[in-house]
């Protein structure tokens, strides 16, 4: 009887020890996802279309230069139209901090987002902005499609916003 219990205990220990490396491998494979989760990609939101080198057949209707808010943000933004569709384009000089999770590109109703909010985070109020898409990369040219149901006349700025902590990294007043 004791031999039987000892055999069962030994086999169950062997099985448990054999499973531990497998769990570790799975956790190691999951780690990059957790690290990269700071900039989620949603299939329901707009995605970058191409580098922001403005094509000859697109027309710039608004533009602006980023000023820093919660984090250093720089570069230029253009709202362009092509074939009846609107796009938000960040140029090659665009750069923002990699320190925030859940960064998104937004259109904002205020023409001076940074001065209309309070430091240090420059928080935004619901209803004052529209989320275009998650920020795809922290620097360089990127283009985002603006949904056709958005009235661009209602929005006077573009901004990079940390949705998780309601912190505006930087904003650009858009002028014609």
Question: Model pTM?
Answer: 0.69
Rounded distance between C-alpha atoms, residue 74 and residue 69, angstroms: 10
Same domain? For 116 and 148 the reply is yes
Whether residue 8 is contained in a domain is answered as yes
Domain that holds residue 21: 1-36
- Number of structural domains in the chain: 2
> Other C-beta atoms within 10 Å of 134: how many?
20
Rounded distance between C-alpha atoms, residue 141 and residue 48, angstroms: 10
For 48-86, the pLDDT digits (tens) are 454 444 555 678 899 999 999 999 999 999 999 999 999
Whether residue 43 is contained in a domain is answered as no
For 17-55, the pLDDT digits (tens) are 443 333 333 333 332 322 233 333 333 344 445 444 455
Same domain? For 31 and 64 the reply is no
């Amino acid at each position: 009887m004791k031999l039987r219990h000892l055999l069962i205990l030994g086999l169950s220990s062997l099985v448990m020890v054999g499973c531990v490396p497998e769990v570790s491998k799975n956790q190691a494979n999951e780690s990059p996802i957790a690290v990269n989760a700071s900039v989620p990609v949603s299939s329901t939101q707009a995605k970058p279309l191409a580098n922001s080198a403005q094509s000859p057949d697109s027309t710039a209707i608004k533009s602006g230069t980023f000023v820093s808010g919660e984090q250093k943000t720089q570069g230029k933004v253009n709202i362009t139209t092509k074939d009846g569709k609107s796009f938000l384009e960040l140029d090659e000089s665009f750069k923002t901090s990699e320190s925030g999770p859940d960064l998104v590109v937004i259109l904002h109703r205020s023409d001076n987002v940074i001065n209309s909010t309070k430091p240090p985070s420059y928080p935004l109020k619901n209803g004052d902005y529209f989320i275009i898409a998650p920020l795809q990369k922290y620097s360089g040219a990127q283009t985002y499609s603006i949904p056709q149901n958005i009235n661009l006349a209602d929005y006077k700025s573009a901004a990079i916003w940390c949705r998780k902590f309601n912190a505006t990294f930087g904003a650009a007043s858009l002028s014609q």
